[in-house]
Amino acid sequence: MSAKTSVEKSTLRGPSGFLELAGQMLVVDFGRIYHDGAPVGVLYDDGYLQHTSGVLGSSGTLRPIESINGCLFRGIDSTGLELVLPTGERGPSGSMKFNGVLFHVVNGRIAAPDHGLVGELDDEGTIFLRDPRNKVSRRKLDESTQLSTIIDGKKSTGDVLKMEYHRPLYRKDKIYSEAEMIRYFMDFDQLNGTQKKYLFENLRLWAATGLLQVVRKSEGNCALGNVKHGAAGQTGVRTGNVTLDKEEFDRDIEYYYEHGCFAAVTTRIKECLEVRLNLVVAHEFGHQLEFVLSQATQDKIKDLYREQKKRCDKIHPLPHEYGGAAELVSRHQIEKRVFVSGYARSTHHEYWAECAAAFSVKPSREYLKKQDPAVYDILCKIVYEPETVLRPVLVEPIMALQASLRAGGELHENLLNE
Ligand SMILES: [Zn+2]
């Protein structure tokens, strides 16, 4: 087991409840076991006992709860989720790699290196994850939620258990988020190294949080093509598919690696600049993302847009000779602009797509947080509290997928700082 096995009062995070043993009830308080008020050992969420004495027998080493006959724990784990140990039928023991993350399996319990209980594995190789975020103690994984899995161990019967699961149409050698981005982008193999890097930077956040998969299944994918009228991309209203213009794609990439997320470009109007955001892939994804939001969320976005447009028209109305709809600013107004980019002023759809794009990478995300906290808040909710902003029919699929992505190391609290 890991090096984290020494018991320190302050850091121990174990279950709380009662341990039943030969008709006696022992109290378990955050992993510490007491018999008549005296400490007699430690119990971890994953069902390991350590430093036992007295009625539990004297032993300093780690051993599974099954090693003491008739010993049964009932209560809650350190996350507050209901826990019974041993967990139902005895399952396999060995190791399990889930999206490349290594877990230890003991009698069917999937254990993290810190003795957290991740879920259960049965002798057939079926995985049931614990989902403390949504208070679900057993989530059976299926084809749309299970990440690549390699199991190497022995069944409860002693027979060898070796299994590999790979998601259909996913590259076996890639972690989930990369394989998902490759699946989303039709012509991935035709891209050069810089184009691939750019694609990954645009979409990584959305892939790691499961939104890309939900959007791809509900709306569509993305491909290179020829977009008319000189636009960089378009999202089909009926099909939901994104087409990126081949030439504009390269120009965006060039801007991005030369100037960063934002570039202030000159316009036909003297002294007037337009701020552009160089994240076309994330922008088009933003259009797809709008379709999976609840009606209430879409209405809120419309309201935010209207307020900003009003303010924009008041502070710096567009010059009469300008026929466009983008926000134009003078050089000294760039940091005081109303919209995240000039193009975001054109319609509420473009406003949303530009904000979603800005949220996709760290530098523009930090700018958006200061400049438009209300829309930033909606975007945070999409990532971390999707049940509050997504269409009701998509809530269960995203919750199940996100539980899996947490276990697989893709979705974590620090994603927005990366
Ligand atoms: Zn657009």
252 Cα to the center of ligand 1, angstroms: 14
Q: How confident is the model at residue 246, as a pLDDT? A: 83
Secondary structure letter of residue 343 according to DSSP:
G
Q: How confident is the model at residue 187, as a pLDDT? A: 84
151 Cα to the center of ligand 1, angstroms: 44
Question: For the chain, which residues make up each domain, given as ranges?
Answer: 16-85, 93-165, 176-409
346 Cα to the center of ligand 1, angstroms: 10
335 Cα to the center of ligand 1, angstroms: 23
> Would you say 281 and 198 are in contact if contact means Cβ atoms under 8 Å apart?
yes
242 Cα to the center of ligand 1, angstroms: 10
291 Cα to the center of ligand 1, angstroms: 13
135 Cα to the center of ligand 1, angstroms: 38
248 Cα to the center of ligand 1, angstroms: 13
177 Cα to the center of ligand 1, angstroms: 24
133 Cα to the center of ligand 1, angstroms: 34
Q: How big is the chain, counted in residues?
A: 418
Which residue spans within 286-414 are E strands per DSSP?
none
257 Cα to the center of ligand 1, angstroms: 21
Residues 6 or more apart whose CB falls under 8 angstroms from that of 410 comprise 99, 147, 175, 176, 177, 207, 208, 209
The alpha carbon of 270 is separated from its chain's Cα centroid by a whole number of angstroms, namely: 45
What is the C-alpha to C-alpha distance for residues 378 and 316, in angstroms, rounded to an integer? Answer: 27
213 Cα to the center of ligand 1, angstroms: 20
396 Cα to the center of ligand 1, angstroms: 28
Q: How confident is the model at residue 230, as a pLDDT? A: 57
229 Cα to the center of ligand 1, angstroms: 13
Listed as ranges, residues in the chain with pLDDT below 50 are: 1-9
285 Cα to the center of ligand 1, angstroms: 9
349 Cα to the center of ligand 1, angstroms: 7
123 Cα to the center of ligand 1, angstroms: 50
For 27, phi then psi, to 5°, come to -85, 135
> Would you say 340 and 372 are in contact if contact means Cβ atoms under 8 Å apart?
yes
286 Cα to the center of ligand 1, angstroms: 8
What is the C-alpha to C-alpha distance for residues 402 and 163, in angstroms, rounded to an integer? Answer: 23
CA distance to 277, 282, 294, per residue, from 353 (Å):
11, 8, 16
The alpha carbon of 127 is separated from its chain's Cα centroid by a whole number of angstroms, namely: 19
Q: CA geometry: angle at 143 spanning 137 and 149, to 5°?
A: 75
337 Cα to the center of ligand 1, angstroms: 20
Q: What is the pTM of this model?
A: 0.92
231 Cα to the center of ligand 1, angstroms: 9
> Would you say 120 and 111 are in contact if contact means Cβ atoms under 8 Å apart?
no
> Ion ligand 1 — residues with CB under 5 Å?
350, 353
What is the C-alpha to C-alpha distance for residues 408 and 410, in angstroms, rounded to an integer? Answer: 6
383 Cα to the center of ligand 1, angstroms: 21
230 Cα to the center of ligand 1, angstroms: 12
353 Cα to the center of ligand 1, angstroms: 6
Quote the tokens at residue 366: 């930090």
